[in-house]
Amino acid sequence: MCGIYAQFGSFKLNDALECLKRLEYRGYDSFGISYNNNEIRKRVGRIKLFSEEENYDAIRAICHTRWATNGEVSLANAHPQMSSDGKVVLVHNGVLENEGIIKQTYFKNHEFKSSTDSEVIAELLAYFLRSSSPLKAILDVMDVIKGAYAILFMIKDDNNIYFMKNKSSLIIGYNQNSYFMASDIYALPHECSYYKHLTDKSYGRIGADVFLSDESRFLNFDFNYEFQTPNDVMIKEIYEEELLALKLKNNNNLFSNKTLELIRNASELIIIGSGSSFYAGEYISYMCEDILKKRARAFLPTELRNVDLYDNPIYLVISQSGETADLINAIDNVNKDRCILFTNRKNSSLGNMIKNVVDVLAGAELAVASTKSFNQTIIAAYMLFQNAMDIKEDEIGEYVEGLRKIKNNFEMKIPKLLAEMDKVFYIGQGYDYIISKEGALKLKEIAYIPTEGYSISELKHGSLALIDSRTTVIGLSSIKNYMLATLNEVKSRHGNIFYLESPYKGKYLGGLVLARYVQLISYYTAKEKGLDPDHPRNLAKSVTVI
């Protein structure tokens, strides 16, 4: 879940760091840069540009922003990592699966300076470079290491930047004067002219004498984006939801004929996603059965099994980033022609793998917590099913009005109370039950409060034992149910209760309106506790390692 960036040409160090900063959603534990002849500067914490006196000229640089997967957050574990002989400096995104075997085989008596698996790869490169050319050393290393990786490295007294890649995203771009490499298309500067996603097991170098083992063609770089990182970005993204929903509603070219054909001819659907994308998938599975009258089930990528029980299903793949590693791994053996990808990142690894893509039009989502992309994915699926069944009426206008009503009438007493709680439960039924699980995830990741989401009756099957005066239960309701009876049981056991009713009771999107409540609750509870809702601890926006 780290971000890597490289540049070859003529530039200032801060030019490279500005590009790296666009990858900070992948990790913000530490950052570093190596430039020119393997000089290294790195720091713990968020990316900061150098002062004017330190903003040196450079002709080559590799950069890294870290999310700690192997080794604690420390300066020693920050990247770039250097080999003990000083010959190799390296940045790495991925996980080395056979680190222990490599250490025992090649470095039994070697004392490593960091706790990272990346340092092991740097030492391995230096080991093979003693007897091989750089490209041959890369092949030797790729024969030894196991796992997903994107690696950039430089060699002392060698003016090139080298790379190798397998199952972790790595993009190369260029213009008339410079070459660029990055984990994500967002990091490529606007002056880039051409780019491509590198294929697995590809390797090569950029510099005066370029070599690419990947012979696939470059594409015109016409990716227009505005990438800013303002403060309080999460609340801004929540309040974009009305405009974005109408943007979907008014788009007449959202679905290809092939995508509509797949849905119409499907006997059943398998929906795959992680985190908020999984809960969006569960919501979509309910809509699929209600609208299409076809069996549907949502799976976590690591639980995707027994699919041979399904009758040649269509796979709906959900990834906000398009780079979710466990999702990429899960669909390796799936027929990609029977996949439909829902994402707001068409120019991504999954967008490159799957031909049938639905752009949910959420734009760049920078806060770690998924908000607008969650809502947009569900609305896009709703529209797809309506289109496939040739149903003309829709609920999007009423959904938008429901969001506005919640914005204008949100009760700040809820987050003020929750900030003092030891635990919280959301409860709901049907679509509201799915939103209760999404709300629980939001409160855990942003406000660090142990929270669970339950179907109404399930609170009594065990968890009622946890109710006390430092517990709050929040009921979510867009349908008629026996919610109040359950909340009264909580109250009689000294628990705190809130009842939140959707201002719109539509059959399919009435429950989704309640997502506005749970998003605002998590945001304002975090603020009440003095936390940063945009950058929660231990988390990164895009999970690019398994």
Q: Checking phi first, is residue 415 left (phi over 0); if not, alpha (psi -120 to 50) or beta?
A: alpha
Q: For residues 298 and 279, what is the distance between their CA atoms, to the nearest angstrom?
A: 8
Global confidence as pTM? 0.83
Token representation of residue 488: 């009264």
Please say whether the structural domain 407-546 has been given the CATH code 3.40.1080.10: no
- Taking only the tens of pLDDT, the chain with its 546 residues reads 689 999 999 999 999 999 999 888 888 889 999 999 999 999 999 899 999 999 999 999 999 999 887 778 899 999 999 999 999 999 999 889 999 999 999 999 999 999 999 999 999 999 999 999 999 999 999 999 999 899 999 999 999 999 999 988 899 999 999 999 999 888 999 899 999 999 999 999 999 899 999 998 998 988 766 555 556 889 999 999 999 999 999 998 999 999 999 999 999 999 999 999 999 999 999 999 999 999 999 999 988 876 667 778 999 999 988 887 788 888 887 889 999 999 988 878 888 889 999 999 998 888 889 999 999 999 999 999 999 999 988 999 999 999 999 999 999 999 999 999 999 999 999 999 999 999 999 999 999 999 999 999 888 788 877 888 999 999 999 987 778 888 888 888 899 999 999 999 889 999 999 999 999 999 999 999 999 998 888 776 665 555
- The single residue listed with the structure tokens 């049907």 is 430
Q: What is the pLDDT of residue 542?
A: 61
Q: For residues 218 and 425, what is the distance between their CA atoms, to the nearest angstrom?
A: 50
Please say whether the structural domain 3-220 has been given the CATH code 3.60.20.10: yes
Does residue 497 sit in helix, strand or coil?
Answer: strand
Q: What is the pLDDT of residue 461?
A: 84
Q: For residues 87 and 397, what is the distance between their CA atoms, to the nearest angstrom?
A: 61
What 3 state SS string does 407-442 have? Answer: HHHCCCHHHHHHCCCCEEEEEECCHHHHHHHHHHHH
- Could you give the residue range(s) of every CATH 3.60.20.10 domain in the chain? 3-220
Please say whether the structural domain 230-394 has been given the CATH code 2.60.120.620: no
The helix-helix angle for 396-409 and 241-249 (nearest 10°) equals 170
Count CB-CB contacts under 10 A for residue 217.
Answer: 6
Question: Which position among 21, 42, 527, 541 bears the catalytic label?
Answer: 541
The DSSP string of 325-386 is HHHHHHTTTS-GGGEEEEES-SSSHHHHH-S-EEE-------SSS--HHHHHHHHHHHHHHH
Count CB-CB contacts under 10 A for residue 9.
Answer: 18
* Catalytic-residue membership of 249: no
Nearest one of 523, 423, 516, 429 to 473, comparing CA atoms: 423
Does residue 59 sit in helix, strand or coil?
Answer: strand
- Could you give the residue range(s) of every CATH 3.40.50.10490 domain in the chain? 230-394, 407-546
